[in-house]
Amino acid sequence: MDATIRKLHDVERDTPIDLLGRRRVFGEKMLWAYVDLKEGCNVATHHHENEQIAFVISGKVLWKLGNEGSPNYREEIVEGGTVIHLPSNFPHGVVALEDTQILDVLSPPGEMGVDKQNA
């Protein structure tokens, strides 16, 4: 594998669900994703094998953490400048309270939760 350098706007963009666009770079052992959520975007609660670190660049989102109805479930409003760590298989979802940009790093690389949302 060789080093690559690209401008963000040159990375292919897809829209797996309404109100969400993303640009992904797949590495051998990690996935980097720039995610752009429009106000009202709802990423349904899901979990995945990948460990995830999300950096909210700007905007405001409601994170749903854990299984709704469980004693450990909680909701957190998060604004730009905040980092969230999600362990492997940890249930989570997001609702964009305003237009928001997030950088996600997942390891190992693979599908993101939104890839199965409309399945």
pLDDT averaged per 10 residues, the chain (length 119)? 92 96 96 98 95 98 96 97 97 97 95 74
In CATH, the architecture of 30-111 is: Sandwich (2.60)
- Give the global pTM: 0.92
DSSP characters over 50-70 = SEEEEEEEESEEEEEES-TTS
20: its two tokens? 């969400």
Please, which residues bridge with residue 65 across strands? 74, 92
Task: Report the pLDDT value the prediction gives residue 118, as an integer from 0 to 100.
Answer: 67
Length of the chain equals 119
